[in-house]
Amino acid sequence: MTGPESEGTQVRRAVCPGSFDPITNGHLDIISRASRLYDEVYVAVMINKSKKGLFEIDERIDLIRRVTAEYGNVRVEAFHGLLVDFCKQREIPAIVKGLRAVSDFDYELQMAQMNNGLSGVETLFVPTNPTYSFLSSSLVKEVATWGGDVSHLVPPLVLAALGERLRGD
Protein backbone atom coordinates (compact mmCIF):
# COMPACT_ATOMS: atom_id res chain seq x y z
CA MET A 1 0.00 0.00 0.00
CA THR A 2 1.24 3.49 -0.72
CA GLY A 3 0.04 6.93 0.30
CA PRO A 4 -1.26 8.31 3.58
CA GLU A 5 -3.00 5.07 4.71
CA SER A 6 0.28 3.12 4.65
CA GLU A 7 1.82 5.77 6.88
CA GLY A 8 -0.80 5.27 9.55
CA THR A 9 -2.80 8.40 8.81
CA GLN A 10 -6.36 8.22 7.57
CA VAL A 11 -7.31 9.31 4.08
CA ARG A 12 -9.77 12.17 4.55
CA ARG A 13 -12.73 11.59 2.25
CA ALA A 14 -15.84 13.64 1.54
CA VAL A 15 -18.74 13.48 -0.84
CA CYS A 16 -20.50 16.24 -2.80
CA PRO A 17 -23.90 14.77 -3.71
CA GLY A 18 -26.49 16.11 -6.12
CA SER A 19 -28.49 15.72 -9.31
CA PHE A 20 -26.06 17.76 -11.44
CA ASP A 21 -28.47 18.10 -14.36
CA PRO A 22 -26.17 19.68 -15.49
CA ILE A 23 -23.21 20.72 -13.33
CA THR A 24 -22.97 24.52 -12.94
CA ASN A 25 -20.20 26.90 -11.90
CA GLY A 26 -21.84 26.95 -8.46
CA HIS A 27 -21.37 23.17 -8.07
CA LEU A 28 -17.86 23.41 -9.43
CA ASP A 29 -16.97 26.10 -6.90
CA ILE A 30 -18.04 23.82 -4.01
CA ILE A 31 -16.31 20.73 -5.48
CA SER A 32 -13.04 22.60 -6.05
CA ARG A 33 -13.09 24.01 -2.53
CA ALA A 34 -13.83 20.55 -1.08
CA SER A 35 -10.95 19.15 -3.14
CA ARG A 36 -8.58 21.52 -1.35
CA LEU A 37 -9.85 20.44 2.09
CA TYR A 38 -9.97 16.65 1.62
CA ASP A 39 -7.64 14.00 0.23
CA GLU A 40 -10.39 12.40 -1.87
CA VAL A 41 -13.66 13.97 -2.96
CA TYR A 42 -16.44 11.86 -4.43
CA VAL A 43 -19.03 13.57 -6.57
CA ALA A 44 -22.13 11.39 -6.17
CA VAL A 45 -24.70 11.78 -8.93
CA MET A 46 -28.11 10.69 -7.71
CA ILE A 47 -30.12 8.36 -9.97
CA ASN A 48 -33.77 9.34 -9.67
CA LYS A 49 -35.85 6.93 -11.76
CA SER A 50 -39.05 8.90 -11.23
CA LYS A 51 -37.63 12.13 -12.68
CA LYS A 52 -36.32 12.30 -16.22
CA GLY A 53 -33.60 14.90 -16.48
CA LEU A 54 -32.37 16.87 -19.46
CA PHE A 55 -29.18 14.79 -19.41
CA GLU A 56 -28.86 11.05 -18.83
CA ILE A 57 -26.86 10.01 -15.77
CA ASP A 58 -23.91 8.88 -17.93
CA GLU A 59 -23.87 12.23 -19.72
CA ARG A 60 -23.90 14.12 -16.41
CA ILE A 61 -21.05 11.97 -15.12
CA ASP A 62 -19.05 12.48 -18.30
CA LEU A 63 -19.47 16.28 -18.10
CA ILE A 64 -18.52 16.33 -14.39
CA ARG A 65 -15.44 14.13 -15.03
CA ARG A 66 -14.27 16.43 -17.79
CA VAL A 67 -14.76 19.69 -15.90
CA THR A 68 -13.17 18.33 -12.70
CA ALA A 69 -10.25 16.60 -14.47
CA GLU A 70 -7.87 19.32 -13.29
CA TYR A 71 -8.49 18.35 -9.65
CA GLY A 72 -6.53 15.15 -9.28
CA ASN A 73 -8.44 13.95 -6.21
CA VAL A 74 -12.05 14.08 -7.48
CA ARG A 75 -13.94 10.88 -8.40
CA VAL A 76 -17.36 10.85 -9.97
CA GLU A 77 -19.89 8.05 -9.45
CA ALA A 78 -23.62 7.49 -9.79
CA PHE A 79 -25.63 6.37 -6.80
CA HIS A 80 -29.04 4.93 -6.19
CA GLY A 81 -30.70 4.77 -2.79
CA LEU A 82 -29.57 6.42 0.40
CA LEU A 83 -26.60 8.74 0.44
CA VAL A 84 -25.56 7.31 3.82
CA ASP A 85 -25.17 3.87 2.18
CA PHE A 86 -22.95 5.37 -0.53
CA CYS A 87 -20.87 6.89 2.30
CA LYS A 88 -20.74 3.66 4.32
CA GLN A 89 -19.60 1.57 1.33
CA ARG A 90 -16.70 3.94 0.64
CA GLU A 91 -15.82 4.90 4.24
CA ILE A 92 -16.75 8.54 3.68
CA PRO A 93 -17.41 10.35 6.98
CA ALA A 94 -18.38 13.77 5.58
CA ILE A 95 -20.90 15.29 3.18
CA VAL A 96 -20.03 18.73 1.79
CA LYS A 97 -22.92 20.94 0.71
CA GLY A 98 -23.08 24.49 -0.57
CA LEU A 99 -25.54 26.88 1.05
CA ARG A 100 -26.71 29.58 -1.32
CA ALA A 101 -29.08 31.43 0.96
CA VAL A 102 -31.04 31.12 4.19
CA SER A 103 -33.84 29.51 2.15
CA ASP A 104 -31.58 26.49 1.53
CA PHE A 105 -30.96 26.03 5.21
CA ASP A 106 -34.22 24.49 6.48
CA TYR A 107 -34.19 21.50 4.14
CA GLU A 108 -30.43 21.06 4.25
CA LEU A 109 -30.54 21.03 8.05
CA GLN A 110 -33.25 18.36 8.00
CA MET A 111 -31.22 16.19 5.65
CA ALA A 112 -28.02 16.72 7.64
CA GLN A 113 -29.73 15.71 10.88
CA MET A 114 -31.45 12.73 9.27
CA ASN A 115 -28.19 11.51 7.71
CA ASN A 116 -26.33 11.97 10.98
CA GLY A 117 -29.04 10.10 12.86
CA LEU A 118 -28.99 7.25 10.33
CA SER A 119 -25.27 6.63 10.26
CA GLY A 120 -23.26 9.28 12.09
CA VAL A 121 -22.07 10.90 8.85
CA GLU A 122 -21.36 14.62 9.28
CA THR A 123 -22.50 17.38 6.92
CA LEU A 124 -20.27 20.39 6.36
CA PHE A 125 -21.92 23.49 4.90
CA VAL A 126 -19.86 25.78 2.68
CA PRO A 127 -21.24 29.24 1.93
CA THR A 128 -21.64 29.55 -1.82
CA ASN A 129 -19.57 32.15 -3.61
CA PRO A 130 -21.98 35.16 -3.77
CA THR A 131 -21.46 35.27 -7.54
CA TYR A 132 -23.48 32.04 -7.70
CA SER A 133 -25.97 32.54 -4.87
CA PHE A 134 -28.95 32.67 -7.28
CA LEU A 135 -27.74 29.81 -9.44
CA SER A 136 -29.41 26.42 -9.91
CA SER A 137 -29.40 23.80 -12.66
CA SER A 138 -33.15 24.32 -13.13
CA LEU A 139 -32.78 28.06 -13.74
CA VAL A 140 -29.87 27.50 -16.12
CA LYS A 141 -32.00 25.08 -18.15
CA GLU A 142 -34.95 27.45 -18.18
CA VAL A 143 -32.92 30.47 -19.27
CA ALA A 144 -31.02 28.45 -21.89
CA THR A 145 -34.27 26.97 -23.24
CA TRP A 146 -35.49 30.45 -24.07
CA GLY A 147 -32.22 31.54 -25.63
CA GLY A 148 -30.82 33.47 -22.65
CA ASP A 149 -27.08 33.74 -22.11
CA VAL A 150 -25.81 31.29 -19.48
CA SER A 151 -22.18 31.33 -20.59
CA HIS A 152 -21.05 32.88 -17.28
CA LEU A 153 -22.94 30.26 -15.25
CA VAL A 154 -21.67 26.94 -16.58
CA PRO A 155 -18.30 25.67 -17.84
CA PRO A 156 -17.80 25.96 -21.64
CA LEU A 157 -18.17 22.17 -22.11
CA VAL A 158 -21.54 22.25 -20.38
CA LEU A 159 -22.61 25.30 -22.39
CA ALA A 160 -21.87 23.36 -25.60
CA ALA A 161 -23.74 20.28 -24.34
CA LEU A 162 -26.73 22.42 -23.35
CA GLY A 163 -26.79 24.06 -26.77
CA GLU A 164 -26.71 20.69 -28.53
CA ARG A 165 -29.39 19.17 -26.31
CA LEU A 166 -31.75 22.12 -26.54
CA ARG A 167 -31.35 22.39 -30.31
CA GLY A 168 -32.06 18.64 -30.44
CA ASP A 169 -28.76 17.73 -32.19
| Residues near ligand PNS (CB under 6 A) | 17-19, 46, 82-83, 111, 114-115
Buried b / exposed e along 37-66 (16+ C-beta atoms within 10 A): ebebbbbbbbeeeeeebbbebeebbebbee
Q: How far is the CB of 5 from ligand PNS (least distance, A)?
A: 27
The alpha carbon of residue 70 and the mean position of all alpha carbons in its chain are separated, in whole angstroms, by 16
The least CB distance from residue 19 to ligand PNS, in Å, is: 4
Q: Is 100 a catalytic residue?
A: yes
Nearest to ligand PNS of 62, 108 (CB atom) = 108
Name the DSSP class of 6: G
- Smallest gap from Cβ 164 to ligand PNS, in A, equals 22
For residue 51, indicate whether it is catalytic. yes
The pairing of beta strand 74-79 with beta strand 13-18: unpaired
52 catalytic per annotation: no
Q: Catalytic residue positions? A: 27, 51, 100, 137
